[in-house]
Every structure is written in C-alpha cells, then in structure tokens.
Chains A and B, each alone.
Chain A
C-alpha cells in the first residue's frame, strides 16, 4: 500500500545562508592542487598492483602460471582466482533465482566472461615493474562463443555464461497496473513501435577507480583509502565474502574525482587489494587505468524496448502503453538486477496515463558488468517515454508541446500518486515547459528552419522532459527478490560543539564534487545562528567516525534530502542541547525565551545575557562539576535521518519508491548537414526544479554537468563491441566525450516548487534524468523526419536516418 509521506510545513526561505550561492569551502584546496585523491595517498613500502585481464570475451581458463612473474626482481607477489575461491565466498547476489546462483568472485575463477575481466593480480615495487611482471603471467584459454547481443542471449543454441545459474536469464518480472484492455477499449488508435534501444555508455569520471589498502595484522583490520562512492554497499558485499565483520573494513575517502554512480561497484577489486595487503603484509596501491575503466567498470544499463503499443485518443490523450524491456546486464550482476525495479520510480514519466504493462527481462552477456550510471535505470525509461510521446505526436500530426501539456501531471494534482503507488511530491511541468520554450525561441523556430534550409541545412527542434527521482526506498529491492531484507533509507550526520567552541560536522556521505561541505555548513549555520565560516565540515568519509549507516554514500540524488536531513536533525538536537545548558547556566531561564545568534545562546530581548558557544563547549568537555545530575547534554549529536517509507506491496508491485521528484525540461535545436549526416547543436535550453535550493550555484552546476554528459552520450559516447566481444571504444580517442569546443550555447531557467515531504523542502537532484538525450533525439527526428529509435546518434546513424530510415512504427485503429 502507499502511504503518502506526512507533509512538513516549509516556510518560504528567508534565512541567511540557505538560498545563497556561498563560495565553496572545497575550492581553496582543490584550486591549489591540495585535494587528496586516492592515488595521492602514499604509504611506506607500498606495492603497486596491476591486473592481468582477459583478452577473450568468453573462455575457459585451462591454466595459470605465475612463476615467471614472481621471479622477476621487484615483484612482491601475486593472487589468482584459485586463491580467491579458497579465501572468500562468492559475493552476495541481490537477484532471486536464476540470477541468485551466479558465482561472482573478486577474480575470474575457471572462466572469463568479458574482455578485461581481472584474472590475476601482480604486486611489485614500482608501477612499471608490476606491469612488466603481468606480461610474464601465462594464462591458457579455451575460447568460447561470445554473446554480445542481448536479443539472442536466451536462444537455446547460445552458450550459457554462468553454468551455476543454468541460463543467461538473470531476472524477469511483469509489471501491470490499470488495465491494458480498458485502455484499448477507450482508445481511438494504437501506435505500435517495433523496437527502441537505449545504448550502453557511462559518465567516465575523470579520476578512475582506485585504492590504497593497509592491513593491520594485530587487530585483523583493513584501512581502505578509496574513491568508492557507496561504502555502505561495498561493506555489505565484502564483509561476508571475506568472512569478516564489517567493522574490520574501514573505508576512508577524501576527495573523489567524479563518481556519477560509476564508483559503486569496485568491491571486487577492493577485495583483491585487501587479500593482497594481508598476504604480502604491505600496503597495496591500485590505480585503475582509463582503458581498464572502459573495459570493465560500471557500464550504464543497455535496454531494448520491443513490441511497444500505445493506446491513445485522436486528440492526443495518452491512455496507456505496454512494452517488453530487455536489459543487457553484461557479464556479472553487481548492483543488478535492481535496475529491474528502479525504473518503476518513474513508471508513467511525467504523464497521467494509468494503464501500463511492462515485461522486464534482464540477461547476461559477454560485456562489461552494468552498474549504476547517472540517471540509473530511470533515464532509460524516461527516454523511452519521451520517444513514445514524440512518435505519437508525429503519427497523429499533433504538436508535441500540446501532447505534453495535455498529458502532463498538473500542478494542482500534486502530490500525485502514480499507477504504481509512487508519489510525485510537487512540480509544475507545464510552467517549466513554457520557460524552456521561451528560452529556446520556440515561436521563431519555423523562420529559423527556413533560413537554415537556405544554407542547405535541416533544422530540428526537440523537447526532453524528465524526472530525477531521489531518495530511494530500498524496499523496492524486494520486488526483485522477496527474500532481501532491505527497506527504507538513511543517512547520518554528527554535529558537535568542541571545547573551544568549534562546530564540527561529520557526514556519512562520499561527495565527488557536489559541495557537501559547503551546503551542510549553510544548513548548520542557519540553525545555530552563526557564520558558515564558523562551521567546520570534515572532508570525505571515514568509517571510524561512526557517522554512517547501512545506506551511507553519495548516489541516487539524495544528499539534499537525506544528507541535509541528517545534518538538520543533528543540528536541531545540538541547538536544543545548547539551549538546555544555557537555561541552566543563565539562571534557569525557560528554553523558549532563549535564542541562538552570533555564536552564542542568549536571552531574547536581552542580548547581553549570552553564553558563547565556546563557554558551552568548555563546560561540558572540561568543566562540568556542579551541573544538575539530570542534565542530559553532550553537545555531540548524532542523528540518523530516516525517510518515511513503507515496504511496498510486493504482489501488486505497488508503493512509494522514492521520496522526491526533481524535474528537468530541456529543448535543443540542431542543424543537420543532409549530405553527410554531420550535425551540430546550435541552441540549447535547460530548466530545472529541485524544490528549495540551498546553494543555487551548486544546483546549476549539476544541471549543466548533467546536460553536458547527456549531449556527449547522444552524439558520441558509446561502448560498442565487435562480434567477438572486443570493446571498440576503450579510450578517449574513440569514446569521444565533450571538450570545450563541443559545447553549444546554453540558456538556463528554473522554478522552485518545494517538496512537502522533506525537512528543508529540498529535493535530491544531480543525476538529471538524461534530458539532453531525449531533447536531441526529438530534434533529430524533427530534422530528418525519421524515427529516432536509438539513444546513440553519431553522424553515421543520422545519415541512416536520412537515407535508410527504419520503418518501425505502425498505427492501427483501436
């Protein structure tokens, strides 16, 4: 069942720090090159680790001989899959059977399943020697046929990747809400789309994965300096596999060079580092190479949508859709098959249709394992949704703006419960669309089109509207596997007042550029009535701070809700304790007559009667004789924010899966060269709504960054494989990401509809939902007249659109 979360009264912000673009605390060190990223950490006697990786997409390993490598002077040791299999148990699988039976070890055991899969780890005195030694490792293979197309993964004739599961089927589930038959009965037309494809790419954070791992023999405890962005998940995976308690795995991060979800599933490599740190009794440095990252880390979900049918009225009213989603998970399930349910946070997109049927199948293929990528699983579904909207509009000869406005959830319907029980907290989509259209110059487009035609160019304009659902209810994982014992969400913060009045904030998150130190300080400063400069937020994450819980990390667009919710909770506790202490020290004044201002607790209306924070800290920490026995004040306040969730109804697959819904609506204008298929984005507008903005500049930075990544993805970026499973885009030459000269002119706009469900009225944001991909696909469809069926549209494909458009759409009477 759905419980709409209780609404909080959120006053219109008039506070001092909230809403200001306060300069970031992080910048002073980062602009001086004084950030501490994982490869900056050095330990005496450190060994450098290099992985021997599979050159085959699918093969049996018939023998491994490390003796020559180990003999090389300067080599400290090696680790093989055989050792891993005896020292550890396979990583826990989130899937129910058959995926549950996949055996996933930290190194390949007996078989390799994708090009680039780590097989042996070599550790040596220098980086170069480790690489030299890796070339001396002899591995013999018996190659097998590789599966690189998800559409054939379930064919009987195809080999099975994981014999233990017996099938390449990793997970399947049917989602049905409303009634498709009812939709058809009410419809005038059924629009059928044979095939759509969301391509494989990711966000290639500039810093690759890495770790420096130390093992303390005396207490059997590892310290893992790393840039993993979800230590809670890594611990849950590694502890049981390594047969140790989670407290033996101390995660320390400081600065992380971008994450975007791609740094969630490094636990296999971290496990290798831990085993070697213990085996060799020395610290281990592992720095992933760019090529390794492309070949093996966290590809975004690749998804096919087959046999889509859309029930629609002639006036463009959308009644329902059905489709078969086929998700290509790659060779291992690391965070999957959660993608099989996460999309359902945005089942109807921004639209009010009620009758939905989606048959979700996830298969394994001989490609890099998929794991979260910015917009995780929702972006794929939202792209699919926007494609449906634009194709329907074209087939019915309706204005895509009108179709959207007719079908958008309306502002006066918020909070809006979707067909599967998710609650959209707030938003005004129609208004945002108007802002975007204004910014892009929608009214003047036809004139621009004519003018472009005279220059021999085809102009196209497109809209991409998308949601950024934030703060997961992990209870949705039970829709994937009812046995899983996860639900809800949490984040932790500790705020303390130290002996000299220093305000110290400890977060559970692992920021990768989102400015947590700054926005947390803003929230704290507003509550305590002090300056942001008086608030010291510790950088990064450390398990030993004990300021984290099972879901701690930075992912899934939630910091502004969970992280700042925890900060607010902890600070409110601290503020209350300061007042309680102040009440005693100031002669028994009732707490409601006290206020916090200018770094003191003081009597309202009598600012001279003040107890500075420094005095409070000193009393509690070092001068507490004579305090009342029942005075419960520690000035060290730890708060666990817990969003209001219930476990979803697993039978109906119904429930609130995310707490907040930020919105982005983008518009793109493209000019296509009809002779070559080459095109440029000549104008671009991005609007967003993430509720209350604590730091507007930081919010806008996220919108811009997400936009740039989406533009890179739709135009150039793709993890393409040949028939043998070799990755054709393993480096930045062939996997082209946007550079400075590639950026189009950008106009931005925003509205703020506060969330009624969160402590500060904020909504998580940052992933962005891929609006740029949706907008450019729409613009290319407009320019070429062809059905854009893939999210990847390099020049060669646009040329196909112009010369050999795929005929995959059919309209029949209902």
Chain B
C-alpha cells in the first residue's frame, strides 16, 4: 500500500518522455496507473523514476481513416474509447472495454496500458490479436510498427523496450467480431476469455491460457473446426484458485466457440 521512494517526471512532449525513459535504467512509464500503482504498492516492482504520460497530447485521440482503419492513441482511456464516435466503427471495442472493472478504473486506465501490461487475464491482448491490430512503437531511433504476434512476447512483456513507448494502435476495418469470457463476478477478472474476428477467414485468440494470446486459425467457421483448432493448440494453461488447468482448457474451448459464433452473428 505504501510505495518505495521514487522520482517523478511529467514530460510535456513525446521526445521529452522518450529521453526521460532512456536516461534511467529504472524508469517506467506511468499511464493510467491502474496496474502500475498496484504493482508498486505491493513492491513487486519499484521503478526509480516514473515518467507520467498523462500530459502527452500526442498519445491521445482516435482517428477513423477513409479506408476504415481505426487508430487509437495509446493514452486513450477506456471511458474515452466508450464515448468515441469514431470507435463505433468497431463496436466490439467499446463492448469489451465497458466490462473492464468499473467506472473509476475506466476513467484512468488506458488502452495502451492494458496491452503493454500484457497480463494474461487482460481483455485487450486477445482482442487486439484477433482483430489484427498493429502497434506503433516510438524510441530514440524512430518509429516502428509491429503485428500483435510480435508485440506480445511474454507475461508482462511486450516489444516495447527500455526507452521506448507504444504510441498508437491501428485496427483494420471490420465489424464481425466476438468476445466471450467467464469472469470472477460480473465485470470481474477474467478466468478465461476468447476473442474472434471474421475477416474473410476466422481468427480466434485465447487469453488466460498462456503467457501471450494464443492465436488460432480454424479451418472454417464451423463449430467443429473451432474445437479442432483449440485441441490442436495443445493448451497447457496455469492452474490457480479459480480454475484447474483442465477446467481452464475446457473453458477456452467453449469460449472460442461462443466468440466465433458471435463474430458470425455480428453484421
């Protein structure tokens, strides 16, 4: 509940933020704080310097391009995403984000923070993987764009390296999406979840079962094909107080089918 001593900086521009992060090995970006502050309270991690991103207008905003690509600034809060007219182009986003925790968390927590935390029980990593999101990372040597597959690397680990920042997420046009979860109480932590997107072919991403979202490409949209893809993935999820590995594997299969069904039904 009580943090270790830390230094704090609130840069006014993206270049300043990147410099601040590069200048200290123990520097961490502070986005919405809905994960990092908890981590620091538990003293599970104690950065030396917090670089507060809440003053960076460059990381805000949602744009809808002519070709239907939706670009979301990394510092967009969940609430802003829910209120955004542009984001209605991809309804699954607001639908899923509105089930994250509660109003207070949604007012501060950010889309960028959620994906960069890459907690296996988070909602957005599998969702972004399913819709084929692309992630723009800025660093000292410029900008690069990576796919979801290259972005999510391990538990709490993404392609954003020291001295770098996720600046925006680009989601291609599409509307046939689904998401299914079993949560600990309504709007609680996910015990198992699955996202699906139908864009020509079907893509299903499973959360909660591995360090990173497990992406499946079933042979068809048929339920049997989805189940076969889940089996072929040879899942070996963790056991915890909410689910054994066996139960979690079973849930993943059921939720994959439901997410895929929802994707097909969503026109």
On A, residues with C-beta under 8 Å from B are 127-128, 131-132, 135, 289-290, 675-678, 715-716, 718, 720, 728-729, 733-734, 736, 738-739, 741-742, 794-796, 799
On B, residues with C-beta under 8 Å from A are 1-5, 43, 102, 182, 184-189, 191, 240-244, 247, 250-251, 254
Give the interface centre of A132, A715, A729 by most chain B CB atoms within 10 Å: A132
List the B side residues contacting A718 at CB < 8 Å: 241
- With A and B bound together, what is the CA distance between A749 and B186 in angstroms? 27
B3 (CB) vs chain A CBs: closest residue: A128
> Which one of B43, B102, B186, B242 contacts A796 once the chains associate, using CB atoms below 8 Å?
B242
A733 (CB) vs chain B CBs: closest residue: B189
- With A and B bound together, what is the CA distance between A131 and B191 in angstroms? 33
B258 (CB) vs chain A CBs: closest residue: A675
- With A and B bound together, what is the CA distance between A741 and B250 in angstroms? 26
Q: A676-B254, A739-B186 are in contact. Are A796 and B3 (CB under 8 A)?
A: no
Q: Are A132 and B247 neighbours in the complex by a CB distance under 8 Å?
A: no
- With A and B bound together, what is the CA distance between A675 and B182 in angstroms? 12
Closest CB in chain B relative to A439 CB, distance in Å? 24
5 contacts between A and B (CB under 8 A): A675-B254, A718-B241, A729-B241, A736-B185, A795-B242
List the A side residues contacting B188 at CB < 8 Å: 736, 739
List the A side residues contacting B243 at CB < 8 Å: 795-796
- With A and B bound together, what is the CA distance between A799 and B240 in angstroms? 16
Closest CB in chain A relative to B184 CB, distance in Å? 5
- With A and B bound together, what is the CA distance between A445 and B182 in angstroms? 27
Q: A741-B186, A795-B182, A795-B191 are in contact. Are A734 and B4 (CB under 8 A)?
A: no
Q: Are A720 and B241 neighbours in the complex by a CB distance under 8 Å?
A: yes
Closest CB in chain A relative to B45 CB, distance in Å? 14
Q: A678-B182, A799-B247 are in contact. Are A741 and B187 (CB under 8 A)?
A: yes
List the B side residues contacting A796 at CB < 8 Å: 242-244, 247
Closest CB in chain B relative to A200 CB, distance in Å? 12
List the B side residues contacting A799 at CB < 8 Å: 247, 250
B240 (CB) vs chain A CBs: closest residue: A728
Q: A676-B251, A734-B241, A799-B247 are in contact. Are A742 and B191 (CB under 8 A)?
A: no
Q: Are A132 and B4 neighbours in the complex by a CB distance under 8 Å?
A: yes
- With A and B bound together, what is the CA distance between A676 and B247 in angstroms? 9
Closest CB in chain B relative to A368 CB, distance in Å? 16
- With A and B bound together, what is the CA distance between A123 and B41 in angstroms? 19
> Which one of B1, B242, B250 contacts A289 once the chains associate, using CB atoms below 8 Å?
B1
Q: Are A739 and B2 neighbours in the complex by a CB distance under 8 Å?
A: no
Give the interface centre of A289, A676, A715 by most chain B CB atoms within 10 Å: A676
> Which one of A676, A728, A742 contacts B185 once the chains associate, using CB atoms below 8 Å?
A742
Closest CB in chain A relative to B156 CB, distance in Å? 16
Q: Are B2 and A128 neighbours in the complex by a CB distance under 8 Å?
A: yes
Closest CB in chain A relative to B6 CB, distance in Å? 11
- With A and B bound together, what is the CA distance between A741 and B186 in angstroms? 6
List the B side residues contacting A720 at CB < 8 Å: 241
B187 (CB) vs chain A CBs: closest residue: A741
Q: A128-B3, A741-B187 are in contact. Are A734 and B251 (CB under 8 A)?
A: no
- With A and B bound together, what is the CA distance between A675 and B258 in angstroms? 11
- With A and B bound together, what is the CA distance between A432 and B26 in angstroms? 64
A729 (CB) vs chain B CBs: closest residue: B241
Closest CB in chain A relative to B182 CB, distance in Å? 6
- With A and B bound together, what is the CA distance between A678 and B187 in angstroms? 14
A interface SS class: loop
Q: A128-B2, A676-B182, A738-B185 are in contact. Are A794 and B254 (CB under 8 A)?
A: no
List the B side residues contacting A290 at CB < 8 Å: 1
Q: Are B241 and A728 neighbours in the complex by a CB distance under 8 Å?
A: yes
List the B side residues contacting A131 at CB < 8 Å: 1-2
B243 (CB) vs chain A CBs: closest residue: A796
11 new A-B contacts, CB < 8 A, other than A127-B2, A132-B5, A736-B184, are A131-B2, A289-B1, A676-B182, A677-B247, A720-B241, A728-B240, A736-B185, A736-B188, A741-B185, A795-B191, A799-B250
- With A and B bound together, what is the CA distance between A675 and B255 in angstroms? 10
Closest CB in chain A relative to B240 CB, distance in Å? 7
- With A and B bound together, what is the CA distance between A796 and B188 in angstroms? 16
B188 (CB) vs chain A CBs: closest residue: A736
List the B side residues contacting A675 at CB < 8 Å: 254
Closest CB in chain A relative to B104 CB, distance in Å? 12
Q: Are A734 and B182 neighbours in the complex by a CB distance under 8 Å?
A: no
Closest CB in chain B relative to A32 CB, distance in Å? 21
List the B side residues contacting A741 at CB < 8 Å: 185-187
> Which one of B2, B4, B184, B187 contacts A716 once the chains associate, using CB atoms below 8 Å?
B184
List the B side residues contacting A289 at CB < 8 Å: 1
List the A side residues contacting B254 at CB < 8 Å: 675-676
List the A side residues contacting B191 at CB < 8 Å: 795
List the A side residues contacting B250 at CB < 8 Å: 676, 799
Q: Are A739 and B185 neighbours in the complex by a CB distance under 8 Å?
A: yes
Closest CB in chain A relative to B179 CB, distance in Å? 15
- With A and B bound together, what is the CA distance between A738 and B191 in angstroms? 17
- With A and B bound together, what is the CA distance between A729 and B242 in angstroms? 10
- With A and B bound together, what is the CA distance between A18 and B244 in angstroms? 54
List the B side residues contacting A739 at CB < 8 Å: 102, 185-188
- With A and B bound together, what is the CA distance between A676 and B2 in angstroms? 39
List the B side residues contacting A677 at CB < 8 Å: 247
Give the interface centre of B1, B182, B244 by most chain A CB atoms within 10 Å: B1
- With A and B bound together, what is the CA distance between A131 and B2 in angstroms? 7
- With A and B bound together, what is the CA distance between A729 and B189 in angstroms? 13
- With A and B bound together, what is the CA distance between A796 and B184 in angstroms? 11
Give the interface centre of B2, B182, B240, B254 by most chain A CB atoms within 10 Å: B2
List the B side residues contacting A794 at CB < 8 Å: 242
List the A side residues contacting B251 at CB < 8 Å: 676
List the B side residues contacting A676 at CB < 8 Å: 182, 250-251, 254
- With A and B bound together, what is the CA distance between A716 and B242 in angstroms? 9
List the B side residues contacting A715 at CB < 8 Å: 185
B121 (CB) vs chain A CBs: closest residue: A733
- With A and B bound together, what is the CA distance between A128 and B43 in angstroms? 12
- With A and B bound together, what is the CA distance between A739 and B101 in angstroms? 10
Closest CB in chain B relative to A333 CB, distance in Å? 27
- With A and B bound together, what is the CA distance between A533 and B117 in angstroms? 56
Which 9 A-B residue pairs are closest in the complex by CB-CB distance? A741-B186, A728-B241, A131-B2, A128-B2, A736-B184, A736-B185, A720-B241, A796-B247, A675-B254
- With A and B bound together, what is the CA distance between A131 and B4 in angstroms? 9
List the A side residues contacting B3 at CB < 8 Å: 128
List the A side residues contacting B184 at CB < 8 Å: 716, 734, 736
List the A side residues contacting B4 at CB < 8 Å: 132
Closest CB in chain B relative to A575 CB, distance in Å? 51
B1 (CB) vs chain A CBs: closest residue: A289
Closest CB in chain A relative to B260 CB, distance in Å? 14
B191 (CB) vs chain A CBs: closest residue: A795
> Which one of B102, B186, B189 contacts A742 once the chains associate, using CB atoms below 8 Å?
B186
Closest CB in chain A relative to B78 CB, distance in Å? 16
Q: Are B1 and A716 neighbours in the complex by a CB distance under 8 Å?
A: no
Q: Are B242 and A734 neighbours in the complex by a CB distance under 8 Å?
A: yes
- With A and B bound together, what is the CA distance between A741 and B188 in angstroms? 10
Closest CB in chain B relative to A115 CB, distance in Å? 15
- With A and B bound together, what is the CA distance between A720 and B43 in angstroms? 23
Closest CB in chain A relative to B165 CB, distance in Å? 27
- With A and B bound together, what is the CA distance between A127 and B185 in angstroms? 33
List the A side residues contacting B102 at CB < 8 Å: 739
List the B side residues contacting A733 at CB < 8 Å: 189
Q: A289-B1, A796-B242 are in contact. Are A716 and B185 (CB under 8 A)?
A: yes
- With A and B bound together, what is the CA distance between A799 and B189 in angstroms? 19
Closest CB in chain B relative to A790 CB, distance in Å? 14
Closest CB in chain A relative to B32 CB, distance in Å? 17
- With A and B bound together, what is the CA distance between A482 and B152 in angstroms? 65
B42 (CB) vs chain A CBs: closest residue: A291
- With A and B bound together, what is the CA distance between A675 and B250 in angstroms? 9
- With A and B bound together, what is the CA distance between A736 and B43 in angstroms? 22
Closest CB in chain B relative to A753 CB, distance in Å? 37
- With A and B bound together, what is the CA distance between A235 and B102 in angstroms? 42
Closest CB in chain B relative to A724 CB, distance in Å? 14
List the B side residues contacting A132 at CB < 8 Å: 4-5
